[in-house]
């Protein structure tokens, strides 16, 4: 086993038939399988948790279609590197008559200018873009680029999938650990699979460390007769060793931010402080934490306490101004505030409901009376006709429709009785009473 590549890299499948999991994406008659079989590959964004096979799938697609594959890191590359990639793609098309599949790892880390630089070349077909992200692409990828890609959602691998991957690595004597004559005991296997949390890379890394505790994995053993049994103790030691290393792009990173988010959501300031300090002590990017708290302020607190968003933004600015370690105190202050604030997800729910309705109904026309009419033609077409200016009426309120005709009467935002949302709800009820009064008065005229 003189190969210095990590086990997880060596065991990466090369063919679709060897790919484990994600049957909804690569199984018989699935979208990607048909695209490969028909040689009609399209640009896509693979969205899923760490270790679920995003990079592997991109490489398999390129290999199965005999495409030129280029791996691009959104973290390390700039505009100059993008230009070099585009030129290489042109060269492949001109000299080799091969298409280029450009795999962009962590595409959510590209800024707008970097994403814009790809846009034209994706649209023209010079490159087939396959992006990978653990973040919701709706929020992280610019709309024009997103509209030219299919979003493929990958799921966390289940225990059966992880078990198959681990078993394959133990018996594979070409790329795996087969030459070491390993036997993974049942309880050790179960623990390794469960602790990996659906992350194949984490499982293989743990297996490799455990094997290293028993034998020298850098050279082949003199004889396969010597059996090496990996017991629960070795797996526990291996995983404990891994847990001490906080991989900012690995499983523990997502576990800890999830723990912080849920502790704040459940109004537990002590747990919120604990998980935040754990992340800071491990060297997590403080601005990453600040961004997540800003998101939390809108998603989980919302209008129950509008000041929460201001607090989270102020904490981010304070950290920018003070830096490490002084600025971290502002993050702690914000975390406690968010944890103790009244909670409401009604803004989040309202947005999701509106999004669902829009997908279902499409681009309904704007009612004519609330359209702007800067030209004579627009006025002749009825734009702005019948519009009533609220400030010209008592209490600056008028009863007129603002939604497309097909959606009139629908309610997206329904405030709770918690915090400031109770006041908002009272205001909305007051406006509704005024609206009902005006309609009743109009009916009696």
Give the model's confidence band at 105: pLDDT under 50 very low, under 70 low, under 90 confident, else very high: confident
The two structure tokens encoding residue 134 = 């653990």
**Half-sphere CA count of 261, side-chain side, radius 13 A:** 19
CA dist 385 and 387 (Å) reads 6
**pLDDT of the residue at 90:** 84
The two structure tokens encoding residue 341 = 């604030």
pLDDT of 443 strictly over 80: no
CA dist 337 and 263 (Å) reads 12
Tell me the per-residue pLDDT of 126-176, one tens digit each, with 9 for 90 and over. 888 898 888 778 777 778 888 888 888 888 888 889 999 999 999 888 888
Question: SS3 of 397, please?
Answer: coil
Give the model's confidence band at 271: pLDDT under 50 very low, under 70 low, under 90 confident, else very high: very high
CA dist 192 and 203 (Å) reads 6
Tell me the per-residue pLDDT of 175-218, one tens digit each, with 9 for 90 and over. 888 888 888 888 888 888 877 778 888 889 889 888 887 775 54
Q: Which residue is associated with the tokens 């990828």? A: 141
* Per-range mean pLDDT, top range of 1-5, 29-33, 118-122, 281-285: 29-33
CA geometry: angle 391, 392, 396, nearest 5 deg: 40
Give the model's confidence band at 268: pLDDT under 50 very low, under 70 low, under 90 confident, else very high: very high
The two structure tokens encoding residue 233 = 């103790």
CA dist 150 and 173 (Å) reads 38
> Given CA atoms 400, 406, 408, 413 in this order, what sign does their dihedral have?
negative
pLDDT of 240 strictly over 70: no
Angle between helices 79-91 and 112-124 (to 10 degrees): 10
**pLDDT of the residue at 192:** 87
Mean pLDDT (whole number) for 349-361: 92
**pLDDT of the residue at 306:** 95
Mean pLDDT (whole number) for 416-426: 92
Residue in 174, 249, 178, 250 with CA at minimum distance from that of residue 207: 178
pLDDT of 5 strictly over 70: yes
Instruction: Tell me the backbone φ, ψ of residue 228, rounded to 5 degrees.
Output: -115, 115
The two structure tokens encoding residue 244 = 């001490």
* Per-range mean pLDDT, top range of 115-124, 139-148, 347-356: 347-356
Instruction: Give me the domains of the chain, ranges plus CATH numbers.
Output: 22-153 (3.40.50.300), 159-243 (1.10.8.60), 256-340 (1.20.272.10), 366-444 (1.10.3710)
Distant-in-sequence, close-in-space partners of 116: CB < 8 Å, separation ≥ 6? 142, 144, 145
Lowest mean pLDDT among 61-70, 114-123, 315-324: 114-123
CA dist 64 and 37 (Å) reads 9
**pLDDT of the residue at 248:** 52
Mean pLDDT (whole number) for 332-348: 95
Query: What is the Cα gyration radius of the chain?
Result: 28
CA dist 13 and 1 (Å) reads 18
pLDDT of 395 strictly over 70: yes
Higher pLDDT, 393 or 224: 393
**Half-sphere CA count of 28, side-chain side, radius 13 A:** 0
Longest dimension (CA), the chain: 101
For residue 187, the surrounding DSSP H or E stretch is helix 186-195
**Residue 195 burial (CB < 10 Å; 0-12/13-18/19+)?**
buried
CA geometry: angle 21, 25, 29, nearest 5 deg: 115
Give the model's confidence band at 242: pLDDT under 50 very low, under 70 low, under 90 confident, else very high: very low
pLDDT of 418 strictly over 60: yes
**pLDDT of the residue at 174:** 86
Tell me the per-residue pLDDT of 72-86, one tens digit each, with 9 for 90 and over. 776 666 677 777 878
**pLDDT of the residue at 223:** 45
**E-assigned strand segments in 65-164:** 68-73, 100-105, 127-133, 150-153
DSSP structural state of residue 183: E
pLDDT of 1 strictly over 50: no
Q: Report the chain's mean pLDDT, rounded to a whole number.
A: 85
| Contact (CB, 8 A) for 367 and 436 | no
């Amino acid at each position: 086993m003189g190969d210095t590549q990590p086990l997880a890299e060596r065991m990466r499948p090369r063919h679709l038939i060897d790919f484990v999991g994600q049957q909804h994406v690569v199984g018989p008659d699935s979208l990607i399988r048909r695209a490969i079989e028909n040689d009609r590959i399209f640009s896509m964004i693979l969205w899923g948790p760490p270790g679920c096979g995003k990079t592997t799938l991109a490489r398999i697609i390129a290999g199965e279609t005999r495409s030129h594959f280029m791996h691009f890191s959104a973290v390390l590359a700039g505009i100059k590197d993008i230009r070099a990639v585009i030129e290489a793609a042109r060269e492949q098309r001109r000299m080799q008559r091969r298409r280029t599949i450009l795999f962009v790892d962590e595409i959510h880390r590209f800024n707008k200018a970097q994403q814009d630089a790809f846009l034209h070349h994706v649209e023209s077909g010079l490159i087939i873009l396959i992006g990978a992200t653990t973040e919701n692409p709706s929020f992280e990828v610019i709309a024009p680029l997103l509209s030219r890609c299919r979003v493929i959602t990958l799921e966390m691998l289940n225990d059966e999938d992880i078990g198959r991957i681990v078993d394959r690595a133990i018996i594979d004597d070409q790329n795996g650990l087969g030459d070491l004559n390993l036997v993974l005991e049942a309880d050790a296997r179960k623990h390794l699979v469960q602790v990996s949390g659906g992350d194949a890379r984490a499982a293989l890394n743990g297996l490799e460390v455990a094997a290293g505790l028993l034998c020298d994995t850098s050279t082949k053993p003199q004889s396969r007769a010597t059996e090496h049994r990996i017991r629960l103790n070795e797996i526990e030691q291996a995983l404990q060793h891994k847990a001490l290393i906080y991989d900012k792009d690995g499983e523990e990173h997502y576990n800890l931010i999830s723990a912080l988010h849920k502790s704040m959501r459940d109004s537990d300031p002590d747990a919120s402080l604990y998980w935040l300090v754990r992340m800071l002590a491990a060297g997590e990017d403080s601005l990453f934490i600040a961004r997540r708290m800003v998101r939390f302020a809108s998603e989980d607190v919302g209008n129950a306490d509008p000041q929460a968003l201001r607090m989270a933004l102020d904490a981010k600015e304070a950290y920018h101004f003070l830096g490490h370690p002084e600025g971290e105190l502002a993050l702690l202050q914000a975390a406690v505030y968010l944890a103790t604030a009244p909670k409401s997800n009604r803004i989040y729910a309202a947005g999701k409901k509106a999004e669902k309705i829009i997908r279902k109904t499409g681009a309904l026309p704007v009612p004519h009376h609330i359209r702007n009419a800067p030209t004579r033609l627009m006025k002749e077409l009825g734009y702005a006709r019948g519009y009533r200016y609220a400030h010209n009426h008592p209490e600056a309120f008028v009863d007129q429709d603002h939604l497309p005709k097909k959606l009139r009467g629908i309610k997206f935002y329904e405030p709770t009785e918690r915090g400031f949302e109770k006041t908002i709800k009272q205001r909305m009820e007051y406006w509704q009473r005024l609206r009902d009064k005006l309609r009743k008065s109009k009916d009696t005229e």
